[in-house]
Structure 1
């Protein structure tokens, strides 16, 4: 059993970009690594360099034809119209770029390794993970491979069968739902923005009985998320009695994110993490969405601090502040005049508010399905 939490990362993410106009042009994992080290939170013994998954290993879920198409596209930096149509690569969302196989294969390798590391219990953090829109034969939503599915299949290979997957990304995890729909040992809970791409995960979508989908309206605040945690997430997981929890902690629900319309502070994500951690002997925390480099870097670093047992400083030390001041977010109005607290603090001010009636009604609808715990 792991005695201390481990952080899985890689230098491949430093300088790698989906392209100058793509939302994933911003640094994310490298920022988290740099901030965590600047804070003194990431000693060498806690850091694991992610292996790159071999093509054969990816066939645990992805098709051989698709893996081959990704490799050829990286090698030639070109896809045919037939490949684009069949596999969804070479599109504006999932473009051809220099590391288009190696980069997702690295996060997938980290996911497969995480399942092995957690065989006997413990905590693993892989902020590069969370690519929840990948399908067996097709890319989607900036995701070429589906590392959450691969991680859970890796856990299954270790004999860990009862798994709870909680996804608080602003987007619905359509690929994960596809991978485990109807599996009685799998519980999926997704809290996502209503009407946002991929526009799946409706309130009555139960995925063969294995999912609770909660689409929420724009403007979701910390108070509403706390109610969702208390009334839905915690009771559902407690009833499921999982042997492992996988938490996808996408940062795109934070208010400053340019791709969604929710109004959470990063306190909401940390509250979910703290509540879930005691509920299973194995915990894997993944990244996910997030397209403002400051909000992503601060949130995901705070998550690692929480897992590793560190208190966030009231004011960033100079080395950490320098990491944040070096970030750029060109071409976005939020990046032209960033507020000072993005440089000097790790934790947001809470964004609390009233709980809207439609959120209460949706929770009533879902909680009617909960099985009482004896």
Structure 2
């Protein structure tokens, strides 16, 4: 692969992710975006010419999807560091999942601002990696599932305002993208394809939820691995994206589908994520790639850095040099698995490909979706 040329893919980030946290015991207490930035810079993959600082979205821009009352409540909660019982019930703020913390408006508004900037770049033919994005659970008037705002929805709406009428949204997070489905259930110009763990929160995205022919859900059994991911990609995602003829693709790459993540029971390796990114890039369509879920600091850093390698045309070394290893050895995690991490979490970036086997349930679900497509197209 060739090194990126001037005007090539861009990486969006911001220091706010380095200096804020949802709270010490929250699943998102771990470092994520900063670890990816540090690792990619150490590897020489992230020159300043490829990096852009995310702007913070203004409240008016957020109201393209979120209600004015909700945006105001989120700002007020940050300012006062408190919420009333009424606000908690109405807007989902100040809960265990979406707690009050010092940057609870500025941080998600920065992720949203990055999505809006990315939409402008993609609308002009670019490819953008926005690892802080992918907050696909946010709803118009409430926080939901660790997501205060919904940056994928804001990006898709912006793309359409900028003249990209047809958009394909692909989501390989372990959790169903309920907020994105809520936004575009009645918009046939926006294709949505989601692979996620079956019977996992938010318990939406069942196989039978086929809305207007443009929302395709492929729930996977908890033991699904790389073979299942490959079948989903080759037999469903790529054919339907090509048939949709989008002017842009938004790909949500939550790393929580990786086997060692604590909040899912899928058994992907990060090779499945890189293969998905590479295959969709191969279509030659402008693309925004976001992060998403991911609650093991080593699997997040290794997975998303590998995604940037694919996007930017970098070769992943078989073994990391000492300076790159130092970034990974500097990570900590309060869970038991973080007390004695396996050595390869420090020394490698790419997992070896997983087992190629495919579950019977995956074959049956893909066949059902393909039959559905024949009936509606």
Superposition TM-score tier, normalisation by shorter sequence: over 0.9
Q: Distance between the aligned counterparts of 1:113 and 1:170, measured in 2? A: 26
The residue number in structure 1 matching 2:49 is 45
Q: Distance between the aligned counterparts of 1:154 and 1:242, measured in 2? A: 15
1:250 aligns to 2:238 (yes or no): no
The residue number in structure 2 matching 1:307 is 311
The residue number in structure 2 matching 1:147 is 151
Give CA-to-partner distance per residue, 1:301-335, whole Å, 9 cap, x none.
Answer: 011111111000111122111000000011x1211
Give CA-to-partner distance per residue, 1:33-78, whole Å, 9 cap, x none.
Answer: 0001000000001100000011111111111110010011001110
Normalising by structure 2, we get a TM-score of: 0.96
Residues 87, 138 of structure 1: 8 Å contact kept: yes
SS in 2 for 1:274: helix
The residue number in structure 1 matching 2:72 is 68
The residue number in structure 1 matching 2:3 is none
Ranges in structure 1 where 5+ consecutive residues have no aligned partner? none
The residue number in structure 2 matching 1:177 is 181
Q: Which aligned pairs between 1:71-150 and structure 2 lie closer than 5 A?
A: 71-150=75-154
Residues 182, 209 of structure 1: 8 Å contact kept: no
1:358 to partner: Cα distance:
1.4
Q: Distance between the aligned counterparts of 1:207 and 1:135, measured in 2? A: 18
1:266 aligns to 2:236 (yes or no): no
SS in 1 for 2:373: coil
1:57 aligns to 2:61 (yes or no): yes
SS in 2 for 1:199: coil
Q: Distance between the aligned counterparts of 2:359 and 2:129, measured in 1? A: 33
Query: Greater shift after overlay, 123-132 or 199-208?
Result: 199-208
The residue number in structure 2 matching 1:318 is 322
The match for 1:347 among 339, 345, 350 is 350
Normalising by structure 1, we get a TM-score of: 0.97
Q: Distance between the aligned counterparts of 2:290 and 2:215, measured in 1? A: 19
SS in 2 for 1:209: coil
1:278 to partner: Cα distance:
2.5
1:353 to partner: Cα distance:
4.0
Q: Distance between the aligned counterparts of 2:26 and 2:111, measured in 1? A: 19
1:33 aligns to 2:37 (yes or no): yes
Q: Distance between the aligned counterparts of 1:18 and 1:12, measured in 2? A: 12
Q: Distance between the aligned counterparts of 1:61 and 1:313, measured in 2? A: 42
Residues 213, 373 of structure 2: 8 Å contact kept: no
1:336 aligns to 2:339 (yes or no): yes
Residues 221, 263 of structure 1: 8 Å contact kept: yes
Q: Distance between the aligned counterparts of 1:310 and 1:280, measured in 2? A: 18
Ranges in structure 2 where 5+ consecutive residues have no aligned partner? 1-5
Residues 171, 197 of structure 1: 8 Å contact kept: yes
1:208 to partner: Cα distance:
2.9
Query: Greater shift after overlay, 101-110 or 355-364?
Result: 355-364
Q: Distance between the aligned counterparts of 1:107 and 1:363, measured in 2? A: 33
Q: Distance between the aligned counterparts of 2:59 and 2:186, measured in 1? A: 27
The residue number in structure 2 matching 1:365 is 368
Residues 224, 359 of structure 2: 8 Å contact kept: no
Residues 15, 27 of structure 1: 8 Å contact kept: no
Q: Distance between the aligned counterparts of 2:353 and 2:285, measured in 1? A: 30
Give CA-to-partner distance per residue, 1:287-311, whole Å, 9 cap, x none.
Answer: 0000000000000001111111100
SS in 1 for 2:20: coil
1:124 to partner: Cα distance:
0.5
Give CA-to-partner distance per residue, 1:242-271, whole Å, 9 cap, x none.
Answer: 110100000000000000001000000111
The size of the alignment, in residue pairs, is: 371
Q: Which aligned pairs between 1:223-234 and structure 2 lie closer than 5 A?
A: 223-234=227-238
1:7 to partner: Cα distance:
0.4
